[in-house]
Amino acid sequence: MDSATISERLLDDRESSILRAIVYEYISTGKPVGSRSFVQKYSLNLSPATIRNIMYDLEQMDYLMQPHTSAGRIPTDKGYRFYVNTLLDSYEFKKSDEIEVREDTIRKELQMDKVFIAITKMLSSVSHYAGVILTPRPDYTVVKRVDLIPLESNEIIFVLVTRHGVVINKKVTISATITQNQLYDYSRYLTNELCGFQLLEIRDVIFNKLRDEKVSGLNKDLALDIAELALGGNEESELYIDGIENLLRIPEMVEENRLKSLLNIIEEKNILREMLEKTMENDGVGILIGSEITSSKVSGCSMVSTSYKKGNIRVGVLGVFGPTRMDYEKVVPLVDYTGRLVSDFFTKMTK
Amino acid sequence: MDSATISERLLDDRESSILRAIVYEYISTGKPVGSRSFVQKYSLNLSPATIRNIMYDLEQMDYLMQPHTSAGRIPTDKGYRFYVNTLLDSYEFKKSDEIEVREDTIRKELQMDKVFIAITKMLSSVSHYAGVILTPRPDYTVVKRVDLIPLESNEIIFVLVTRHGVVINKKVTISATITQNQLYDYSRYLTNELCGFQLLEIRDVIFNKLRDEKVSGLNKDLALDIAELALGGNEESELYIDGIENLLRIPEMVEENRLKSLLNIIEEKNILREMLEKTMENDGVGILIGSEITSSKVSGCSMVSTSYKKGNIRVGVLGVFGPTRMDYEKVVPLVDYTGRLVSDFFTKMTK
DNA sequence: TGTTAGCACTCGGTATAATCGAGTGCTAAC
DNA sequence: GTTAGCACTCGATTATACCGAGTGCTAACA
C-alpha cells in the first residue's frame, strides 16, 4: 500500500477518535504527544505500540507530524482541520456571568465606536486570545436626517443621523457664502429627499435623480453639492482589535520568529482585514488554520470568525485570533454566540 | 575620604562630561561601558586606568553601577537623571517631513477621538516608543451651537458643535413625546443661551440662571432637562496609547521579567494614568526615570511627558513611554514640540 | 598629586562533551 | 491485528573548560 493510496482513505472510528484525542491533548499541553504517556493519560486499552502504529498511519496521511525523529506527534494543519470539522456541530456554549455582564454593556451602549470596543473586549477577555471585529461599511447606513450647521461663512458642518441614531459629521468648505436660513432650508430639503435611503443608493441613484428635478424657490444644486462633498468619500470599514496582550502571554507566540509576525499583524492591520473579508461570504463560524491563512507573514496562527448580519444582509465579520493551538472548543461557540448577539443588535437597530 | 562625603560633592567638569558620555554610550549600545573600549571609541587623551578611577568615584556617588564585578558600568537612575537634567535645555528639535504630515492630519481632524489617536500615533511613530495622551476633561469646551434631532418619539440626539467645529453628540431618552417643531424651538433656545460659554460654566452657573428666568411660549424646562441630561455626565479624562508594538521590538523589554510588567501596564492603564497625572502640575517637559515611577509594577521604564494647555489652563498631559535606556535627546524635544502643538490646537479651539 | 603601566583576579558567555530520557521503528511472538 | 522487547535517535540538561573584556590595586612616573 503506497502512501498515495493511504492518504486518500477515510479514517475509521478508532483512528478518528485517537486523532481527535491527540489534537485535544496537544492543544491543552502544547507538547508533542508521545505514545506511551498518551496511552497512560487517557487510560486506553491499547498498548503504546499500537498507538504508534496508528500514529504512523496518521502521519502518512498528513494529519500528524514529528518535529524531529525521536519526538512525539503534533497535529498538522490538516489535523487541526479534521479536529474542528468533526467537532464543529457538537460544541456547547455555556453562558458565563462575565458574558452576561459584557453582553449587557453592549446592548446598552449608544455610541457606535464604543459598541465595537465592547464587542472586541468581550471576545478577547472571554477567550483569552485577541478579539477582532470588522465594522460594517457605512454604505448600508440608512439616512434619517441631515443637518447643516454653519461654522465660518464658507465652512459648513454636515451632520448626518442614521436610522439607529449614529451621528456622522464632516466639515465641508464651499466657495459661496450662505445664510443661516438658507442652510435651514437646505437641511430640510436634504432630509426630505434622502431620508430612508442607504448611502449607497444615494450616491449611485438618488443624487442623479435629484439633479434632474426642478425645485422652485431653492438653489437645490448648491445643497446637493454640499451633500455630495460630504458623502463622496467612500468610507472603508474599520477594524477593531483588543487583547493583543493575551497573545503575548502565550509562550509559543513570543518565541523569536513568532513575535515578529505578531508585530507585523499588529502594525499592518490589512493582514487581519483580508483574513476577515475572506470569511465574509460564509455563514456560520469559519476557521482559518495556519497555512490556510495565505499571507506568509503569519504563521502558527488561527482565526475563528463569523459574519454578522443586519436583517438578512451580511454587513461585517467578527472573530477571535490566536495561536493555531487554540482552545477551539471554547472559542468556536463564543464566536458563534457573539455573532448572533451582534446580528441581533444591528438588526434591531435598523428597525 | 568616606563615601558619604564623596556622594555629596558636585561633579567637576571632566567628571560630568565623562558621565554624560558614558550614559550616552550606554543609551546607544545598551551594553555596559568598559574603560578600555570607551577611551578608544571616544579617543580621549586619558588612559583606561584614569577612566576607571573616575568611574569608581562616579559609582561611589551612585551615578553608575556594575551589573556584576567584572563588567563595565551602566547608569543608575541618578545617572540618567543627571544626564537628562544637564542636557534638557540644549535639546534641538528638527522637524521632519513625517512630523509635518502628521501635524497636518491633527490640525485638520474634526472628530475629537481621532485627534487623540493622531497625536499618539505621531508620538509613537516618530519616537519609536509608545505615545500616550491623557485627554482634557471636556469642561472647557466652548459651545457654538446646539441641535436636537429626533430619533424615536422619546429619543433625541443632542448634537453640540464647539467653536472649533468639533461635534459632540449624545443620545438622550426622555419620558415625554416631543414634536419636531418643538425640538427646533428648543434647539434655537439652547443655542442662543449656551453659545459662547464653556461646559463648566454652563453646568455650574448658566443652567441655574436659566431655570430662574421666565420664557413665554416655550417649555424651556424640558429643553433644559434635555441639555442637562446630555451634558450632565462629568466625564473622565481618557487615556490613549499607541505604539506598544514598538516596545516589543526592544530586546530588553521582552526579557522575561520585563514583558510581565509591560503587560501589566497595557492592562491596567491606571498605572500610566497615575504617572501622567503626576506630571500634570509641572510646566515644561518632565521625565520620570525608572524608580521615580513609584508603582512597583513598572521597572526599567521611563516616561517623558509634558502638560498641554487650553489658553492658560493646563488641561491634559501627553508623552512618550519607553525603556529607561531611551533616546532622550530625540524624545524630549519631540514631546516638547507636540505639547506646544496640542496646546495651540486646544487654545485656538476655544477662541 | 594626579596619571599611567602592569598584573592578578573576576565572571558572564560561549563552546564542547557527557548524560538523560521520552520517544521512535522494527521484529518476532502472541 | 496486537503487543513485548530492543536498539536507536535526538533534544534538553548538566558539567567542564576556556576566553576575553573588565576590574582593583600597587608602584612608578611627570
Say if residue A280's pLDDT is above 90: no
d(CA A99, CA A334): 9
* Mean pLDDT over each residue of chain A, to the nearest integer: 86
- Min mean pLDDT across A46-50, A269-273, B325-329 is at A269-273
Taking CA atoms, what residue in B is nearest to A162?
B151
A263 vs B contacts (CB less than 8 Å):
245, 248-249
pLDDT given for residue A208 in this prediction: 92
In this prediction, what percent of chain A has a pLDDT beyond 70?
Answer: 93
H-state helical runs in A140-212? 180-194, 199-201, 207-212
- Min mean pLDDT across A18-22, A127-131, A293-297, B300-304 is at A293-297
- A336 — pLDDT class (breaks 50, 70, 90): very high
pLDDT given for residue A175 in this prediction: 87
Contact A113 B113 (CB under 8 A): yes
Sheet holding A155-162, edge to edge: A143-152, A155-162, A167-173
Residue stretches of chain B with pLDDT short of 50: 1-7
Q: What pTM value is reported for the model?
A: 0.80
pLDDT given for residue B290 in this prediction: 72
Instruction: Enter the C-alpha cell of residue A271.
Output: 493582514
pLDDT given for residue B301 in this prediction: 87
More confidently predicted of B149 and A109: B149
Instruction: Enter the C-alpha cell of residue A195.
Output: 431620508
Partner-chain residue, chosen from B145, B170, B263, that has the shortest CB–CB distance to A245: B263
Say if residue A4's pLDDT is above 60: no
- A139 — pLDDT class (breaks 50, 70, 90): confident
pLDDT given for residue B8 in this prediction: 58
pLDDT given for residue B313 in this prediction: 85
Q: A80-114 burial string, b = 16+ CB within 10 Å, else e?
A: bbbbbeeebeebeeeeeeebeebbeebeebbbbee
Place of cell 542636557: B87
**Alpha carbon of A205: minimum distance to chain B alpha carbons (Å):** 25
Element housing B170 (H / E): strand B167-173
Ranges of beta strands (E only) in B194-283 are 239-242
Say if residue A283's pLDDT is above 60: yes
Say if residue A271's pLDDT is above 90: no
pLDDT given for residue A216 in this prediction: 82
pLDDT given for residue B278 in this prediction: 82
In Å, what is the separation between the CA of A21 and the C1' of D8?
28
Task: Give the pLDDT confidence of A125-136 residue by residue, as tens digits.
Answer: 999 999 999 998
Provide mean pLDDT across the span A281-301: 77
- Nucleic strand C near CB of residue B53 (< 7 Å): yes
pLDDT given for residue B299 in this prediction: 74
pLDDT given for residue B4 in this prediction: 41
pLDDT given for residue B42 in this prediction: 86
Tally Cβ neighbours within 10 Å of residue A35.
21
d(CA B250, CA B247): 5
Pairing of strands B155-162, B143-152: antiparallel
Assess B154–A contact: CB distance below 8 Å, yes or no.
no
Partner-chain residue, chosen from A170, A245, A263, that has the shortest CB–CB distance to B249: A263
